[in-house]
Amino acid sequence: MSGAIAYRDATPADGPELAAMARRSFTDTFGTLYRQEDLAQFLEAAFGSAGLPADLTDPAYRVRVATDSGAIAGYCKIGPVTFPGDWPDSAIELHQLYILGDHHGAGLAPVLMDWALDQARASGSSEMILSVYVDNHRARRFYERYGFEEIGQYKFMVGDHEDDDRLMRLRL
């Protein structure tokens, strides 16, 4: 961490930098768990031009970035629930909350989470749903501090690799 942290809504112009940051964050955190071809397939689907950058032009999604001296150091994306199952129309999903490793513990995640919850409540959402990798203990503890509770399992696909995730919910 080097400079002043600022927060703002992401714009379509942020697409390339945001996608690169997301790829780096995911790879740094989980890259050793997967075969290279599975990782590459996932990164392209999630953060290629049809993934995260395209969401920046979709009004169903909201993305907030944290910048350090102008460079994106973290972000949070919320939008429609995409998990299988019967979810209330008023539910919202926390799709991603990513912080670069050298910014962990610097307070970016709580600011972004507070923004997500404020946005959800302001839009009339009744609950927020997310999935978290079963062995990502740091993230699970973070969500539990906000009152999220585990409500089931979810098979998160990284290429052809099936991860064991937990679905968590916070009633708003």
| Nearest of 20, 89, 95 to residue 64 by alpha carbon | 95
Tokens of residue 162, six digits: 């099936």
44 token code pair: 């392209």
User: Rounded CA gap, 67 and 11, in Å?
Assistant: 13
pLDDT of residue 138: 92
pTM of the model: 0.94
- Residue 3: pLDDT band (50, 70, 90) is confident
Q: Using one digit for the tens of pLDDT, what is the confidence trace for 42-94? A: 999 999 999 999 999 999 999 999 999 999 999 999 999 999 989 999 999 99
Quick one: which H or E segment has residue 152? strand 149-158
Pick from 66, 125, 53: which is nearest to 93 by CA? 125
CB atoms inside a 10 Å sphere around CB 153: 12
Under CATH, which architecture does the 5-127 domain have?
3-Layer(aba) Sandwich (3.40)
**pLDDT over 60 at 1, yes or no:** no
| Helix residue ranges, H only, 72-134 | 108-122
Dmax (CA) for the chain in angstroms is 44
- In degrees and rounded to multiples of 5, residue 135 shows phi and psi of -95, 10
Give the count of beta carbons closer than 10 Å to the beta carbon of residue 136. 16
Hey, where are the domains in the chain? 5-127
CB 45 within 8 A of CB 55: no
Predicted confidence (pLDDT) per residue in 114-145, tens digit:
999 999 999 999 999 999 999 999 999 999 99
**HEC sequence for 23-75:** HHHHHHHHHHHCCHHHHHHHHHHHHCCCCHHHHCCCCCCEEEEEEECCEEEEE
Per-residue tokens: 147: 């009152």
